[in-house]
Amino acid sequence: MASALGDNYNHLSPPQQELVKILSENGQDHLFRDWPGPGVDDDEKKAFFDQLIRLDWSYPGGLGAYIKNAKRLLADSKAGKNPFDGFTPSVPTGETLTFGDENFTQFEETGVREARKAAFVLVAGGLGERLGYSGIKLALPAETTTGACFLQHYIESILALQEASSEGGSQTHIPLVIMTSDDTHGRTLELLESNSYFGMQSTQVTLLKQEKVACLDDNEARLALDPQNRYRIQTKPHGHGDVHALLYSSGILKKWYDAGLKWVLFFQDTNGLLFKAIPSALGVSASKQYHVNSLAVPRKAKEAIGGITRLTHTDGRSMVINVEYNQLDPLLRASGYPDGDVNCETGYSPYPGNINQLILELGPYIEELSKTGGAIQEFVNPKYKDASKTSFKSSTRLECMMQDYPKTLPPSARVGFTVMETWLAYAPVKNNAEDAAKVPKGNPYHSATSGEMAIYRANCLILRKAGFQVADPVVQIFNGQEVEVWPRITWKPKWGLTFSLIKSKVSGHCSISQRSTLAIKGQQIFIENLSLDGALIIEAVDNAEVKVGGSVQNNGWSLETIDHKDTSEPEALRIRGFKFNKVEQVEKKYSEPGKFHFNA
């Protein structure tokens, strides 16, 4: 390739020349073909090398390793090789929880205690193409009763855990890492800064930006040049699996370990229910001493969500891993189960559905990463032009997934899962209104509409379990999606971090009608003999203790349908298909410490 570069070669720095050598050895001569001599396009050429150096630096093993891995994976893909060849699936062991029972409550208690040794990692580098929202997903309101965005809700949940966990002991600061990408970094930082980090100390939050990887033009893994600019390589996201290498190379894991931390909890950008499952799941990790604990939900056989599976190889290897639903069924059929993935006596598949929230024990995690550098097994998914599989419709790239981390673990690793009821733990916002409306009946929409309604539903079911009389939902259609509309109950995470805490704040005979809205924005708000038919908003500073009761009746907040195409409405509302008309409410605000009683 030095010759393809001509005189340009002599103008390169030694590291640049070294990179040219590696690229040449890996069949990348086309990158520099027909380059004009020195003096022409020099700035562009420099930018090209800057990009190459960045791509080389950000991939474990550098660009040479990337191209070699790509060639191997592309050849396997062309040959139709099954990555699970030689593996037999079986049902792994884990813990199945039922919300509110004694077991659950005990795990919650343990989890809250352990939280002082926890660090959180939020993967938020995704483009969100399926949702198609113009902002970052973290800035979307999780629900529109309070308007709190996902990031605010997450941070307040972590702060609530931090406070509950510190009780009686020294104050801890639970660290939060947010993995961003070029697509989300600036806007994530701005969201944090313009909201004073939603109450966290800015030093508690670390942003780690993932880099994109080079695109590939063909089965020879030739790097794809940007059609608009011969001095630029096309790049695309590498997937959330990058989080492991980034955490490792940043040195933060070691810092956490030295500070006595024990758990790392990974979560995603738009699941408004997740923190209802975190305390108990962390309790499971601690009690069962799981090195890896995957959060899961019951899964109907063949449902389009990955199944957590134990895979045992003929050579003795064994792992507990997420198997995508379209691979699980054929794998079972090929392994002596002629019916493939079928429901068992519980009415669900014995392979629980992976929701991609992981709890890792820090010590074994660091030990493993010191062997792998955080590299996660990758895959490639080229869209071929035809059956000959010789060329692609558009360039492809290698990808990796966070949940594939256990693939390299030794068989001695303790890998388990925690199954939670879906209503409690999982309602992501991934799909735009049009696509969600096309989801086959009975399958989850995973839209902004269903994500918000799921929060009300979960809060209602939890309060019911705590003895609150909550009216049944009505079914309504928004943006072509049929959803259950429950009373709009919301609370701050610090009010209701665990079920025991919630039970301690609700007493007597309480009831709420279907059309009602109840927002509890304070820590020490106690609901006693309250009957609500309308809207009630109670806000109180932490050291104001407020008892709320009596009968509240007003015209409340009505739900109005809007169309997702109606551009006169804000995008964050359009994508849900509804908005609140705040006709009338009782709103009480306690901004001074003290004891108060609100009796309507």
Comparing CB distances to ligand UTP, the nearer of 45 and 137 is 137
Separation of alpha carbons 457 and 44, rounded Å? 55
- Give the DSSP letter of residue 525: E
CB environment 346-359: b (16+ within 10 A), e (fewer): eebbbbbbbbbbbb
Tokens 């660090």 appear where? 119
Residue whose token pair is 């659950």: 104
Report the nearest approach of ligand UTP to the CB of residue 278 (Å).
16
* Binding track over 561-580 against ligand UTP, x by CB under 6 A: --------------------
Q: How far is the CB of 158 from ligand UTP (least distance, A)?
A: 16
* C-alpha of 582 from chain center: 32
CA distance 492 to 595: 19
**Number of shown-chain residues binding ligand UTP (CB under 6 A):** 18
Q: Which residue is nearest to ligand UTP (CB)?
A: 126
Quote the CA–CA distance of 369 and 375 in Å, as a whole number: 8
121 versus 161: smaller Cβ distance to ligand UTP: 121
Q: Does 272 sit near ligand UTP (CB under 6 A)? A: no
Shortest Å, Cβ 240 to ligand UTP: 4
Q: Helix, strand or coil for residue 398? A: strand
- Residues 144-173 interacting with ligand UTP (rule: CB under 6 A): none
Rounded to an integer, what distance in angstroms lies between the CA atom of residue 435 and that of residue 422?
Answer: 21
Q: Binding residue for ligand UTP (CB under 6 A) from 94, 100, 111, 125? A: 125
320 φ/ψ sector (left φ>0, alpha ψ -120 to 50, else beta): beta
Q: Give the Cα separation of 525 and 518 in Å (integer).
A: 12
Q: Which range, of 120-128, 167-175, 365-373, 574-582, touches ligand UTP by CB under 6 A?
A: 120-128
Q: Which residue among 56, 143, 269, 303 contacts ligand UTP (CB under 6 A)? A: 269
Residue 451, H or E segment: helix 448-465
* Nearer to ligand UTP (CB atom), residue 125 or residue 307: 125
Residue closer to ligand UTP, measured from CB, 83 or 132:
132
Estimate to the nearest angstrom the gap between the alpha carbon of 401 and the chain centroid.
11
Q: Tell me: does residue 378 bind ligand UTP (CB under 6 A).
A: no
Which tokens go with 67? 């191209």
To ligand UTP, the closest distance from the beta carbon of 559 in angstroms equals: 27
Question: Minimum distance from CB of 469 to ligand UTP (Å)?
Answer: 37
Strands (E) located in 449-543: 469-470, 474-478, 481-485, 488-491, 506-507, 511-512, 517-521, 525-533, 535-540
Using the contact rule CB under 6 A, the part of the chain among 122-130, 221-229, 464-472, 546-554 near ligand UTP is 122-130
Nearest to 369 by CA among 230, 468, 237, 244: 244
Question: Using the rule CB under 6 A, which residue among 124, 320, 454, 466 binds ligand UTP?
Answer: 124
How far apart (Å, rounded) are the C-alpha atoms in residues 261 and 176?
A: 13
Give yes or no for residue 309 binding ligand UTP (CB under 6 A). no
Question: Which residues, numbered 329-358, are part of the site for ligand UTP (CB under 6 A)?
Answer: none
Binding mask 215-244 for ligand UTP (x = CB under 6 A): ----------------------x-xx----
Q: Measured between alpha carbons, how far is 330 from 351 in angstroms, rounded to an integer?
A: 14
Subset of 417-446 contacting ligand UTP (CB under 6 A)? 430
**DSSP line for 345-358:** TTSS-SSPEEEEEE
43, burial (CB in 10 Å: exposed 0-12, middle 13-18, buried 19+): exposed
Asked if 162 and 154 count as a contact pair (C-beta separation under 8 A), the reply is no
- Residue showing tokens 């939603």: 198
State the greatest distance between any 2 C-alpha atoms of the chain, in Å, as a whole number: 86
Q: Which helix (H) or strand (E) holds 518?
A: strand 517-521
In sequence order, the 6+-apart residues with CB closer than 8 A to the CB of 13 are none
Query: Minimum distance between the CB of residue 316 and ligand UTP, rounded to whole angstroms?
Result: 33
Q: Which is nearer to ligand UTP, 281 or 401 (CB)?
A: 401
CB of 139 to ligand UTP, least distance (A): 12
> By CB under 6 A, is residue 489 in contact with ligand UTP?
no
User: Please, which residue, 349 or 432, has the CB nearer to ligand UTP?
Assistant: 432
Q: Does 304 bind ligand UTP (CB under 6 A)?
A: no
Q: Could you say which of 50, 129, 367, 482 contacts ligand UTP (CB under 6 A)?
A: 129
Point out which span in 25-33, 129-137, 357-365, 387-395 binds ligand UTP (CB under 6 A): 129-137
Q: Amino acid identity, residue 349?
A: S
Alpha helices in 466-528 (DSSP H): 499-503
Shortest Å, Cβ 227 to ligand UTP: 22
> Is the CB of 238 or the CB of 494 nearer to ligand UTP?
238
Which of residues 145, 268, 403, 418 is near ligand UTP by CB under 6 A? 268
Among 121, 123, 409, 519, indicate the residue that binds ligand UTP (CB under 6 A): 123
Cβ closer to ligand UTP: 237 or 416? 237
User: β-strands 318-323, 307-313: how paired?
Assistant: antiparallel
Which of residues 89, 92, 100, 126 is near ligand UTP by CB under 6 A? 126
Give CA–CA dist 427/484, Å, rounded.
14
**Which residues fall within 8 angstroms of residue 566, CB to CB, at 6 or more apart?**
574
By CB under 6 A, which span of 11-19, 127-135, 285-293, 295-303 interacts with ligand UTP? 127-135
Q: Does 187 bind ligand UTP (CB under 6 A)?
A: no
465 binds ligand UTP (CB under 6 A): no
Q: Which spans of this chain sit near ligand UTP (rule: CB under 6 A)?
A: 123-131, 179, 181, 210, 237, 239-240, 268-269, 430
